[in-house]
Amino acid sequence: MSQFRTTTPHMLRANKEYQRQTLMGGLSGFESPVGLDRRDRIEALRTGDLGFVHSWDLNTSVDGPGTRMTVFMSGCPLRCQYCQNPDTWKMRDGKPVYFDAMMKKIERYSDVFQYTGGGITFSGGESMMQPAFVSRVFHESKKMGVHTCLDTSGFLGATWSDEQIRDIDLCLLDVKSGDEATYHKVTGGALQPTIDFGHRLARLGVRIWVRFVLVPGLTDSEQNVENVATICDGFHDAIDHIDVLPFHQLGRPKWHALRYDYPLEDAKGPGAALLERVRGQFRDHGFEVF
C-alpha cells in the first residue's frame, strides 16, 4: 500500500472514519486514506497513487462486454443538460481511494472477468480528469489479462499520451452532438476535442462504441444526427456499433437534491418513430445500431 507522511495503513484500520467510509454503500471494500493533507493528496494524484471515486458497481453488458466492474470517478469539466450523475461533477466530493486497494478489488473479480469476457470500466463524471490513476490502473489490469474500457466524452483527450491510450481496449465515446453550437448548448464545452480523440483512438487501434443521447427538441434534428454520423465515418472501421440512448428523467431527483436548476425539467423521452428515424440515419451510413 502507498505510504504518506500523515497516515499509515495501521492508523487507517484503527480509524473510525476509515471504517465508516469502507462500509458505506458504493465504496465498500476500498481502503480510503484519512488525514492526508492537501500537499499529500496533490502529489498522490500526480503519481496515480490516489484517485477520487464516487462509487462503483458490478453490471453485465451495460458498460462494455461481459461482467464489468464500473468505477465512477469524481470530477467533470462538462455540464450536460441531461447528466444522470451531477453528484460526480466536483472531484472534491468523491472519496480518495488508494491505487493498491483498487487493484486488489479488480484482482478479486478477475476470474469472473475471464469467464464472462468482462473487465474494468472507468466512467464518471469524467475519468479522464484523473489520468495518472486511471491509466495506471488500466496498465496493471492489462498485465493481469483484464479487459479495459473507458467511458468518456473525449473532451480531455489531448491530456492523454498515446502510451496511455494504448492500454484502453474499448472506448465508450459519447458524441453528444454533431455541430459546435448544439454541442455547446448541451454541454457548455466544445465538440472538436471529441472528434480529435476519436481519430486518435482509431489510429491507435482502440475499439469504439459510440453513444449518442437522443433528446427531443435538443439533439434530435435530422441535420444534427447526420453530422454525428459523418463524424463517426471519420473513425473508419474502429467503431463496433452505435448506441442511440433515449433520454429519460432518472437523473432529475439528483439535480433537485443538489438544488441545481434542471434545464430539462419538462422534457420527454423520444417516441418509437423518432428513435427508428435516428437509428435509420446511422444505419444508412453502414453502422450497426442499437
Q: Is the pLDDT higher at 217 or at 62?
A: 217
pLDDT for position 8: 35
Mean of all residue pLDDT scores within the chain: 89
What pLDDT is attached to residue 185? 97
C-alpha grid cell, residue 161: 499520451
Predicted local confidence at residue 89, as pLDDT: 97
Q: In what order do the strands lie in the sheet with 67-73?
A: 95-98, 50-60, 67-73, 119-123, 147-152, 170-174, 207-214, 239-246
Which pLDDT score is estimated for 15?
Answer: 41
Q: What are 185-216's pLDDT values in tens digits?
A: 999 999 999 999 999 999 999 999 999 999 99
Q: How confident is the model at residue 24 (pLDDT cuts 50, 70, 90)?
A: very low
Pick left, alpha or beta for residue 220 (phi over 0 → left; psi -120 to 50 → alpha; otherwise beta).
Answer: alpha
Instruction: Please give the model's pTM, rounded to 2 decimal places.
Output: 0.88
Mind listing the pLDDT tens digit for each residue in 90-100?
Answer: 998 999 999 99
- CA atoms of 89 and 257, how far apart (whole Å): 14
Contact between 6 and 37 (Cβ < 8 Å): yes
* 13 pLDDT higher than 70: no
Q: Which residues contact 259 (CB under 8 A, 6 or more apart)?
A: none
Going from N- to C-terminal start, the domains of the chain cover 9-283
Q: What is the pLDDT of residue 25?
A: 38
Residue percentage of the chain with pLDDT more than 90: 82
Strand ranges in 157-269 using DSSP code E only, listed in sequence order: 170-174, 207-214, 239-246
Residue 29, pLDDT > 70, answer: no
pLDDT band at 256 (very low <50, low <70, confident <90, very high): very high
Model pLDDT for residues 104-162, shown as the tens digit of each residue: 999 999 999 999 999 999 999 999 999 999 999 999 999 999 999 999 999 999 999 99
- Topology annotation, domain 9-283: TIM Barrel (3.20.20)
Q: Which helix (H) or strand (E) holds 16?
A: helix 16-23
- State the pLDDT at residue 90: 95
